[in-house]
Structure 1
Amino acid sequence: MAFSEGVHGQLAVRFQMLLPHLDERQRRLLLAAEARLLGHGGVRAVARVSGVSETTVRRGVFELEAGEAPPPAGRTRRPGGGRKRAEEVDPGLVSALMALVEPDERGDPMSPLRWTTKSLRNLADELTRQGHPISAMTVGRLLKDSGFSLQAQAKTLEGEQHPDRDAQFRYINEQVKQHQADDEPVISVDTKKKEMIGQLPNPGRQWRPKGDPVRVDDHSFFSGPTGEAAIPYGIYDLSADAGWVNVGTDHDTSVFAVASIRRWWQARGRHAYPQATRLLITADAGGSNGYRYRVWKAELAKLVSETGLAITVCHFPPGTSKWNKIEHRLFSHITMNWRGRPLTSYDVVVQSIAATRTRSGLRVDAELDTGRYPLGIAISKAQMKSLPIDYHDTHGTWNYTVRPDADGALGEGTVRNTDHYHAARRRVLDLLSEPALTGMSREELAALTGRITPELSSLREERLHRKRGGPRRHGAGDNKRPVLSPADRVLVSVIYLRHVCSQNLLAEMLGLCQRTIGPSIKEVRRLLQENGISVTPTTLCFSNSKEIEDFVRTEAPVSARGQLTHRLADPSLTGMDRTKLADLIDQLSVRQAALIERRRHQQRGGPRQPGTRGGVFRQKITDAERLLAAVLYQRKLGTRQILADAFGVSLGTLNNALADAQPVLHEAGITLPPAPTRFTTGAELLASVSSNTPAS
Structure 2
Amino acid sequence: MWKNTAQLLRGSKRRIFMAQVVKLLGYGGQCFAERVLGWNRKTIRKGTIELESGISIPDQYGNCGRKRTEYHLPNLFSDIKSIVDPHSQADPTFRSKRIFSPLTANEILRRLKADKGYRASHLPTVRTIQNKLNELGIRLQRVKKCEPIRKVPETDAIFEQVKTINAKTDHAPNAIRISLDCKAVVKIGPFSRGGKNRIMQKASDHDFEPEQKLVPFGIFIPERCESHFWFSAGPVTADFMADRLQELWTNLHKRFPALDKLVINADNGPESNGQRTQWLKRLVEFSDANNIEIELAYYPPYHSKYNPVERLWGVLENHWRGELLTSIDKALGLARTMTYRGVGPSTVRLVRRIYRKGVRLTKKQMAPIEKRLQRLQGLEKWFITICPVADSG
State the TM-score bracket (shorter-chain normalisation). Answer: 0.5 to 0.7
Which residue in the other structure is 1:228 paired with?
212
Rounded to whole Å, the distance in 2 between the matches of 1:370 and 1:327 is 24
TM-aligned CA deviation for residue 319 of structure 1: 0.2
Rounded to whole Å, the distance in 2 between the matches of 1:288 and 1:196 is 21
Q: Counterpart of 1:199 in structure 2: which amino acid?
A: P
SS at match of 2:144: coil
Q: Counterpart of 1:310 in structure 2: which amino acid?
A: E
Which residue in the other structure is 2:9 paired with?
none
Which residue in the other structure is 1:297 paired with?
280
- Asked if 1 retains the 8 angstrom alpha-carbon contact of 2:182 and 2:216, the reply is yes
Rounded to whole Å, the distance in 1 between the matches of 2:193 and 2:150 is 34
| From 140, 154, 157, the counterpart of 2:144 | 154
Change in CA separation of 1:324 and 1:182 when aligned onto 2, cut-off 3 Å = same
| From 377, 383, 389, the counterpart of 1:399 | 383
Rounded to whole Å, the distance in 1 between the matches of 2:239 and 2:375 is 21
Question: Which is richer in helix?
Answer: 1
Rounded to whole Å, the distance in 2 between the matches of 1:372 and 1:160 is 34
SS at match of 1:230: strand
- Asked if 2 retains the 8 angstrom alpha-carbon contact of 1:201 and 1:220, the reply is yes
Residues 97-496 of structure 1: matches in 2 within 5 Å? 154-183=144-173, 184-208=175-199, 213-217=200-204, 219-223=205-209, 228-267=212-251, 269-328=252-311, 330-361=312-343, 363-387=345-369, 388-393=372-377, 395-406=379-390
TM-aligned CA deviation for residue 186 of structure 1: 0.3
SS at match of 1:289: coil
Change in CA separation of 1:350 and 1:307 when aligned onto 2, cut-off 3 Å = farther
Instruction: Give unmatched runs, 5+ long, in structure 1.
Output: 1-152, 409-696
Rounded to whole Å, the distance in 1 between the matches of 2:216 and 2:360 is 23
Deviation digits for residues 396-424 of structure 1 (CA, Å, limit 9, x no counterpart): 2110012211299xxxxxxxxxxxxxxxx
Rounded to whole Å, the distance in 2 between the matches of 1:346 and 1:270 is 30
Rounded to whole Å, the distance in 1 between the matches of 2:152 and 2:243 is 31
Rounded to whole Å, the distance in 2 between the matches of 1:189 and 1:324 is 8
Residues 503-582 of structure 1: matches in 2 within 5 Å? none
Deviation digits for residues 113-147 of structure 1 (CA, Å, limit 9, x no counterpart): xxxxxxxxxxxxxxxxxxxxxxxxxxxxxxxxxxx
Rounded to whole Å, the distance in 1 between the matches of 2:338 and 2:390 is 42
Residues 620-631 of structure 1: matches in 2 within 5 Å? none
Change in CA separation of 1:358 and 1:251 when aligned onto 2, cut-off 3 Å = closer
Q: Percent identity?
A: 22
- Asked if 1 retains the 8 angstrom alpha-carbon contact of 2:261 and 2:294, the reply is yes
Which residue in the other structure is 1:600 paired with?
none
Rounded to whole Å, the distance in 2 between the matches of 1:399 and 1:406 is 21
- Asked if 2 retains the 8 angstrom alpha-carbon contact of 1:241 and 1:362, the reply is no
Larger Rg: 1
Rounded to whole Å, the distance in 1 between the matches of 2:279 and 2:194 is 33
With structure 1 as the length reference, what TM-score do the two structures score? 0.34
SS at match of 1:203: coil
Rounded to whole Å, the distance in 2 between the matches of 1:156 and 1:406 is 44
TM-aligned CA deviation for residue 368 of structure 1: 0.9
Rounded to whole Å, the distance in 2 between the matches of 1:367 and 1:156 is 31
TM-aligned CA deviation for residue 235 of structure 1: 0.3
- Asked if 1 retains the 8 angstrom alpha-carbon contact of 2:260 and 2:293, the reply is yes
- Asked if 2 retains the 8 angstrom alpha-carbon contact of 1:356 and 1:364, the reply is no
TM-aligned CA deviation for residue 180 of structure 1: 1.6
Q: Counterpart of 1:396 in structure 2: which amino acid?
A: E
SS at match of 1:302: helix
SS at match of 2:332: helix
Change in CA separation of 1:187 and 1:407 when aligned onto 2, cut-off 3 Å = closer
- Asked if 1 retains the 8 angstrom alpha-carbon contact of 2:292 and 2:387, the reply is yes
TM-aligned CA deviation for residue 385 of structure 1: 1.6
Which residue in the other structure is 2:12 paired with?
none
Rounded to whole Å, the distance in 1 between the matches of 2:197 and 2:316 is 15
Q: What number of residue pairs does the alignment pair up? A: 247
Q: Counterpart of 2:316 in structure 1: which amino acid?
A: I
TM-aligned CA deviation for residue 221 of structure 1: 2.4
TM-aligned CA deviation for residue 354 of structure 1: 1.6
- Asked if 2 retains the 8 angstrom alpha-carbon contact of 1:245 and 1:367, the reply is yes
TM-aligned CA deviation for residue 346 of structure 1: 2.0
- Asked if 2 retains the 8 angstrom alpha-carbon contact of 1:242 and 1:363, the reply is yes
Rounded to whole Å, the distance in 2 between the matches of 1:333 and 1:205 is 16
Rounded to whole Å, the distance in 2 between the matches of 1:338 and 1:364 is 18
SS at match of 1:265: helix
Deviation digits for residues 624-658 of structure 1 (CA, Å, limit 9, x no counterpart): xxxxxxxxxxxxxxxxxxxxxxxxxxxxxxxxxxx
Change in CA separation of 1:167 and 1:228 when aligned onto 2, cut-off 3 Å = same
Deviation digits for residues 149-176 of structure 1 (CA, Å, limit 9, x no counterpart): xxxx931452331111111111111111
Deviation digits for residues 285-341 of structure 1 (CA, Å, limit 9, x no counterpart): 22321223111111112222222211111111110001111112x111111111111
TM-aligned CA deviation for residue 394 of structure 1: 5.1
TM-aligned CA deviation for residue 228 of structure 1: 2.1
With structure 2 as the length reference, what TM-score do the two structures score? 0.59
Rounded to whole Å, the distance in 2 between the matches of 1:228 and 1:299 is 29
TM-aligned CA deviation for residue 349 of structure 1: 1.9
- Asked if 2 retains the 8 angstrom alpha-carbon contact of 1:187 and 1:281, the reply is yes
Rounded to whole Å, the distance in 2 between the matches of 1:178 and 1:272 is 21
Q: Counterpart of 1:181 in structure 2: which amino acid?
A: H
Rounded to whole Å, the distance in 2 between the matches of 1:192 and 1:335 is 10
Q: Which structure has more RCO (C-alpha within 8 Å, separation ≥ 6)?
A: 2
TM-aligned CA deviation for residue 179 of structure 1: 1.4
Cα RMSD between the aligned structures?
Answer: 2.1
TM-aligned CA deviation for residue 342 of structure 1: 1.5
Q: Counterpart of 2:201 in structure 1: which amino acid?
A: V
TM-aligned CA deviation for residue 256 of structure 1: 1.3
Rounded to whole Å, the distance in 1 between the matches of 2:391 and 2:164 is 31
Question: Which is richer in strand?
Answer: 2
SS at match of 1:333: helix
TM-aligned CA deviation for residue 356 of structure 1: 1.1
Rounded to whole Å, the distance in 2 between the matches of 1:222 and 1:381 is 43
- Asked if 1 retains the 8 angstrom alpha-carbon contact of 2:229 and 2:345, the reply is no
- Asked if 1 retains the 8 angstrom alpha-carbon contact of 2:270 and 2:276, the reply is no
